[in-house]
């Protein structure tokens, strides 16, 4: 027992300041310099809102970490967790459970056709680790081709495959993970300095050039719509072309749908927009609406059949944990009952119109892009040059960013939004109402004044 803290049974209820103090002193704040972290004490959440200890209520415009797709406190999902805890709280993965079978049946209804063998994890990063191992075992090859402007997780294999600055701190360890990086699809700031459609989607051609010249490539991993790193929507030719490239060179295609799955983009999964069927699909977050930590690595039946006579060299204690599977069953049924996939598509059109109208009024907005209820505002100091306010190095060095200032202003107006380097990620729960979006856009409009005020005079007039 701690010498500085009485036992839990005898302790007086902590004040909110004590909750924050204990959290800050004894916990790590992720992806940040610790001295500037003073976390807000959140005490409740319901629907599209969460509430702080002082009673302040905030519209959750990013679904926390783009994961609470059903909104907070969905009663069907909560009941499923409680009932599963009473029925069977845990059993080791070697045993079958009713919940595991039910979820497997439901997945066959919603996943892209052909994905029919499942490995359950407790996070998206673990799902990607499983995908890499499966791809290497199945193909007998080693290398993974990823892309810059990507995020695939924080464990050794998945962070090595991450193209954004969160990878930098753990290198050179990642160099031994067999990952090589290709140019991302970014038509706003093309890394190859081309212009779509005249480019002929050269980024896909260059990726093929890498596959040929690297040799020993087991798989290509992509976020079909890049998530945290800018909500980058590819041109219509890109993913079908990538599927052809992988087939031509006997390379597996892994779709990382941790963020883009479960209706977020207006389809069950983002690859469905282009009718592309990956060999492996990984997902997490919205699979339970983040009510429980569940990830999924789904593979084709062909890959599954390979392991009938070959050793499946992977597993962990919490694989297929019943308390994580039950809320997934409930969440999928709730999405079907509420028809949230179609709703996300319709509400996304409304949100996109509002954001594009905002761009006309605010010169700091360089580009508005998105799909379904998944959007980004790219903030720039110069629209013509497309110069971002801040850089990746600013983020790593802990320098204040304009998007963080905008997000702070929005909190003052009762709206929470995710900010990353030089853009805002707008991804509300799929149950969001138009009136709530109107409120959020008004708060966003007012808050963007801090970015407009920081513009050079010439840019502010453009």
Q: How far apart are CA 425 and CA 264, in angstroms?
A: 13
The per-residue pLDDT for 137 is 98
Q: Are 266 and 351 in contact (CB under 8 A)?
A: no
Under the banding of pLDDT at 50, 70 and 90, the label for residue 174 is: low
Under the banding of pLDDT at 50, 70 and 90, the label for residue 168 is: confident
What average pLDDT does the chain have? Answer: 94
Q: How far apart are CA 19 and CA 53, in angstroms?
A: 10
Q: How far apart are CA 367 and CA 394, in angstroms?
A: 21
pLDDT above 60 for 6: no
Matching CATH number, 75-338, of 3.40.630.30, 3.40.1190.20, 3.40.640.10, 2.40.30.10: 3.40.640.10
Write out pLDDT tens, residues 153-164.
999 999 999 988
pLDDT above 70 for 459: no
The per-residue pLDDT for 444 is 98
Average pLDDT, stretch 77-103?
98
Q: Would 16-72+340-460 and 75-338 be classified into the same CATH topology?
A: no
Look at the domain 16-72+340-460 and name its fold: 3.90.1150
Q: Are 374 and 273 in contact (CB under 8 A)?
A: no
The per-residue pLDDT for 175 is 60
Contacts of 239-242 with C-beta under 8 Å, sequence gap 24+, read: 239/271, 239/274, 239/276, 240/274, 240/275, 240/276, 241/201, 241/204, 242/204, 242/207, 242/276
Share of the chain above pLDDT 70, in %: 96
Write out pLDDT tens, residues 256-286.
999 999 999 999 999 999 999 999 999 999 9
The per-residue pLDDT for 129 is 97
Write out pLDDT tens, residues 233-248.
999 999 999 999 999 9
Under the banding of pLDDT at 50, 70 and 90, the label for residue 165 is: confident
Q: How far apart are CA 421 and CA 419, in angstroms?
A: 7
For residue 432, the tally of other CB atoms under 10 A from its CB is 24
Q: How far apart are CA 243 and CA 252, in angstroms?
A: 9
Write out pLDDT tens, residues 341-384.
999 999 999 999 999 999 999 999 999 999 999 999 999 999 99
Report the relative pairing of strands 57-60 and 415-416 from DSSP bridges: parallel
Q: How far apart are CA 194 and CA 108, in angstroms?
A: 40
Share of the chain above pLDDT 90, in %: 90
Under the banding of pLDDT at 50, 70 and 90, the label for residue 1 is: very low
Write out pLDDT tens, residues 181-223.
999 999 999 999 999 999 999 999 999 999 999 989 999 999 9
Q: How far apart are CA 56 and CA 38, in angstroms?
A: 16
| Main-chain phi, psi angles of 193, to 5 degrees | 60, 40
Average pLDDT, stretch 5-29?
84
The per-residue pLDDT for 173 is 61
Question: Residue 272: how many CA atoms within 13 Å on its side-chain side?
Answer: 23
pLDDT above 60 for 9: no
The per-residue pLDDT for 447 is 98
More confident call, 419 vs 166: 419
Domains of the chain, residue spans: 16-72+340-460, 75-338
Under the banding of pLDDT at 50, 70 and 90, the label for residue 171 is: confident
Strand partners, 180: 145
pLDDT above 50 for 178: yes
The per-residue pLDDT for 12 is 84
Average pLDDT, stretch 66-75?
98
Under the banding of pLDDT at 50, 70 and 90, the label for residue 166 is: confident
């Amino acid at each position: 027992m701690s010498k500085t803290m009485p036992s839990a049974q005898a302790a007086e209820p902590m004040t909110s300041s004590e909750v924050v103090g204990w959290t800050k002193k004894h916990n790590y704040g992720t992806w940040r310099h610790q001295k500037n972290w003073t976390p807000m004490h959140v005490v409740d959440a319901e629907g599209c809102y969460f509430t702080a200890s002082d009673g302040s209520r905030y519209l959750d415009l990013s679904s926390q970490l783009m994961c609470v797709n059903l909104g907070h406190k969905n009663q069907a999902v909560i009941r499923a967790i409680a009932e599963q805890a009473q029925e069977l709280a845990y059993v080791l993965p070697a045993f079958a459970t009713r919940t595991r079978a039910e979820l497997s049946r439901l997945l066959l209804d919603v996943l892209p056709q052909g994905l029919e063998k499942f490995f359950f994890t407790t996070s998206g990063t673990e799902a990607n680790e499983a995908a890499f191992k499966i791809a290497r075992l199945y193909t007998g090859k080693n290398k993974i081709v990823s892309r810059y402007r990507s995020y695939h997780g924080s464990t050794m294999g998945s962070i090595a495959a991450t193209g954004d600055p969160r990878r930098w701190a753990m290198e050179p360890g990642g160099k031994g993970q067999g990952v090589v990086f290709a140019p991302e699809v970014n038509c706003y700031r093309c890394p190859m300095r081309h212009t779509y459609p005249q480019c002929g989607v050269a980024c896909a051609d260059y990726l093929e050039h890498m596959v040929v010249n690297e040799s020993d490539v087991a798989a290509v991993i992509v976020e079909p719509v890049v998530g945290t790193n800018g909500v980058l929507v590819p041109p219509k030719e890109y993913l079908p072309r990538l599927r052809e490239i992988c087939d031509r060179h006997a390379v597996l295609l892994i779709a990382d749908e941790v963020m883009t799955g479960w209706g977020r983009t207006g389809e069950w999964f983002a690859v469905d927009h282009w009718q592309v069927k990956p060999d492996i699909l990984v997902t997490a977050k919205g699979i339970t609406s983040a009510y429980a930590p569940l990830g999924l690595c789904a593979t084709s039946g062909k890959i599954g059949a390979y392991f009938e006579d070959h050793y499946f060299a992977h597993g962990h204690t919490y694989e297929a944990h019943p308390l994580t599977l039950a809320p997934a069953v409930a969440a999928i049924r709730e999405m079907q009952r509420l028809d949230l996939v179609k709703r996300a598509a319709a509400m996304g059109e409304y949100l996109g119109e509002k954001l594009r109208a905002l761009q006309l009024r605010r010169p700091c907005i360089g580009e508005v892009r998105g799909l379904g209820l998944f959007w980004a505002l790219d903030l720039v100091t110069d629209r013509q040059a497309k110069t971002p306010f801040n850089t990746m190095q600013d983020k790593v060095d802990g320098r204040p960013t304009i998007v963080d200032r905008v997000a702070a202003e929005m909190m003052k107006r009762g709206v929470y939004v995710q900010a990353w380097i030089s853009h805002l990620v707008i991804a509300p729960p799929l149950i969001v109402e138009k009136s709530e979006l109107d409120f959020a856009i008004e708060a966003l409009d007012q808050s963007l004044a801090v970015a407009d005020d920081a513009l050079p005079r010439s840019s502010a007039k453009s």
